[in-house]
Amino acid sequence: QVQLVESGGGLVQAGGSLRLSCVGSGGTFSLYGMGWYRQAPGKEREFVSSISREGDDTYYADSVKGRFTISRDNAKNTVYLQMNSLKPEDTAVYFCAARYYGMGQFNRWGQGTQVTVSS
């Protein structure tokens, strides 16, 4: 089973950019569909973006479409989330997630990385 570790979070001003990374280990990374979720204080965890095993299909929540870009490098066992034009409402803990063969629910999760956007 793949294990996931996120990095790249931090504090940024509104309008700024961050790139999150998530490295997978312990499994064949290319066999997993990958995704990013986020959870703001007092709110439910919500879907942000996902990418297919080969990276040819991507999906985005409406709230981030046009600002965030998901990508992956299977040779590096890494999935990225490039976040541009950040807004204070993007403040959340961001979680990387995996699902085997890209099917069913995401069932492997990282520990999360904090993103804080100041106004």
pLDDT in tens, 102-116: 788 999 999 999 999
Q: Are 73 and 86 in contact (CB under 8 A)?
A: no
Per-residue confidence band for 52, with pLDDT thresholds at 50, 70 and 90 = very high
Could you tell me which residues come within 8 angstroms of residue 33 by beta carbon, excluding any fewer than 6 positions away?
50, 51, 52, 53, 98, 99, 101, 102, 103, 106
Which two three-digit tokens encode residue 9? 């979070």
pLDDT at 102: 77
